Amino acid sequence: MARIKRSATKGVRRAAKSQSRAAGARRAKAQTTGVIDRMMGIIPLTEEQWSTVFMAMIVAAGLLLAATIANIAGVPAMAHAELSRLASDAGYSVRTVRVSGTQRLDESEVYALALGQKNRAMPQVDIEQLRADLKELPWVRDARVSIQLPDTLAIDVIEREPHAVLQKPDHLVLIDMEGHELAPVSREKSAGMLLLSGPGAARQVANLDALLAAAPALESQIEAAEWVGNRRWNLTFGTGQVLALPEGAKTSASALVKFANLDGQYRLIGGKVTSFDMRNPPRIYMREPGRADRIELAQGPSQGSS
């Protein structure tokens, strides 16, 4: 019985498959090369810059792969140390700190915190902790911290806005709308800003703004506000005249609006009266220098003096 040898047929098939795989690889390479060539043609970078980009991509991929393998193997701490060493050796460490967004804040305070990261490998930079440290600075409302490869730490500061001046026992200090103390300030430099005084006044800034907004015609004429007994306001006008308001947000706003209407009728601001007491609505008690008695202006059916 004749035997049929199939080795030659198998060899032919293997050769055909090998040639097919080689052809597929050549086509894939050609496509990849074509895509890269098109990218290089579209993006205006030099060959040296493209080389840097590709090297960065390769290093980043290698670092990511190393970190993944290390985590799977259960040795993240060792992997992180090795990852940091590799990154530093490859030039991926903090060598430049760039700060933006500062107007009133002394940039040296930002650099003092950021330069603690100088020469540190990028994987070791704790962005969230640095951001938290920056937010502890009085002028910093928020901060964005980012890493810009290969060696730059970028910090964008969002500053607080000075809103008023707080009278302390021995000095003046700028505060923002939330009552945060920003920095000491001289009386000359604080001219034109609302002056607040009284224990707890800084915590009442938002409530005071709402109160003054109820009578916008008076707002520009008020230069100081004293928080009295942790319950009510005394307002001082630019003329030096003082208005004592009652307790309660709604009651005090209603009294201020009423005073604004009376001022429109009788020109109270700038007159002879030095103080107006509205703590007992609906009456207003007024004091005039040289007079022993108070003048009472009642809003209602009757008016008189006492």
Whether 30 has a pLDDT exceeding 80, the answer reads no
Q: Kindly indicate the confidence band of residue 88, based on its pLDDT and cuts at 50, 70 and 90.
A: very low
CATH of domain 164-298: 3.40.50
Domain spans of the chain? 12-88, 92-159, 164-298
Six token digits for residue 292: 């022993």
CA 26, CA 143: separation in Å to the nearest integer?
A: 50
**Is residue 143 classed as helix, strand or coil in its secondary structure?**
strand
Residues 6+ apart with CB under 8 A from 177: 161, 163, 205, 206, 209
The reported pLDDT for the residue numbered 95 is: 79
The reported pLDDT for the residue numbered 91 is: 46
Q: Do domains 92-159 and 164-298 have the same CATH topology?
A: no
In the β-sheet with 275-277, what is the strand arrangement from edge to edge?
A: 181-185, 172-175, 164-167, 195-197, 222-228, 232-237, 242-244, 275-277, 283-287, 295-298
Task: Out of 60-69, 103-112, 129-138, pick the least confident.
Answer: 60-69
The model's pLDDT over 45-81, given as tens digits with 9 standing for 90+, comes to 666 665 776 677 776 676 666 666 656 655 554 444 4
pTM of the model: 0.65
CA 182, CA 138: separation in Å to the nearest integer?
A: 5
Give the residue with greater pLDDT, 261 vs 34. Answer: 261
The reported pLDDT for the residue numbered 92 is: 53
Classify 92-159 by CATH class: alpha beta
Q: Kindly indicate the confidence band of residue 33, based on its pLDDT and cuts at 50, 70 and 90.
A: low
Give the residue with greater pLDDT, 298 vs 14. Answer: 14
The reported pLDDT for the residue numbered 171 is: 95
The model's pLDDT over 260-302, given as tens digits with 9 standing for 90+, comes to 999 999 999 999 999 999 999 888 999 988 765 555 555 544 4
Give the residue with greater pLDDT, 204 vs 66. Answer: 204
The reported pLDDT for the residue numbered 114 is: 82
Whether 175 has a pLDDT exceeding 70, the answer reads yes
